[in-house]
Amino acid sequence: MVRRAISVSTLSLLAFAGAAQADIVHVPGTGRIVAAHDANTLSTHKAGEQEARFALNVAKFLTQASSGGSILMIEASAVSSIHDYSPLVESALTDAGFGITVTQQTDWTLSQLEAFDAIFVGTIFDEPYRTIDASLLTQFVQGGRGVYVFGGMGPDREGEAAALNNFVAPLGLSFDANEGPGLGGYNGVYETPVGSMHPIFEGVAHLRSANGLNVRPTSFEGFSEVAGEANMLLSSTKGDGLYGVITGVPVPTPGAIALFGAGGVLMLRRKRA
């Protein structure tokens, strides 16, 4: 496992070596996205065996491989157990044969990102608040790779939703900035039974969280040539959208309308769990 390496170039070389061993073929037009409402689900604060199993299922779904893929994990916080990646989650991935690179580095080029088979990313909780450029993530999935994107950092839910939606909204899902019943106007969802039969939930009976940002389906005129097939998979009993997937993200045809916002540097304040 590689954690917080000094340079992007070092990270890319290590990831490239792992991807080469996996021999995963990336076919343009087959990219996948999993959108999740809350960062806390995979954190030390919340993750147990069920959440670790979920993370492994997601990795398999995104890489379209049972093991051996190389995963870039952008860690929302290196100091807070509420927004980090749990050791249980990391062990589940590495024990299954996935190579993981855990870092807070967000300044990547497309060629560097393409050394990985999948990316786990939200927004950085530690200062300065930022995320990977949305246009790069879009090109990454258009090339046949996968992204797990999560919300729930806050408490600026409008700013957070806008930043994440630069990536996911044109492709069929969006994070909902409308006020909810939880702290800071988030959804206030802390545990959800799983009834979906989708592969990302295989062997998972429930998932814990801590006040996330709802996920909704979106439909935009002008994006039909770049959007994949979007499906909501799991909602709470109150109708909160918690998990959705986008599959088969195609490469836009020449002249297709595409509006992708730059992720850039996102200034957000902290959300309390």
Are 18 and 96 in contact, with CB atoms under 8 Å apart? Answer: no
CA distance 193 to 198: 14
Give the single-character DSSP code of 205.
Answer: -
Query: So where are the chain's domains?
Result: 29-249
Neighbours of 62 (CB within 10 A): 25
Q: Which among 222, 196, 249, 189 is positioned nearest to 29, based on CA atoms?
A: 249
Is-cis flag, bond preceding 128, omega within 30?
Answer: yes
Encode pLDDT of 79-93 as tens digits: 889 989 999 999 999
pTM of the model: 0.87
What is the tens place of the pLDDT at every residue in 125-168? 887 678 999 999 999 999 999 999 999 987 788 888 988 999 99
pLDDT bin (cut points 50, 70, 90) of residue 78 is confident
Sort strands 191-193 and 99-103 into parallel, antiparallel or unpaired.
unpaired
Q: What is the mean pLDDT of residues 218-228?
A: 55
Encode pLDDT of 87-130 as tens digits.
999 999 999 999 999 999 999 999 999 999 999 999 988 876 78
Determine the Cα–Cα distance for residues 128 and 143; give it in Å rounded to an integer.
29
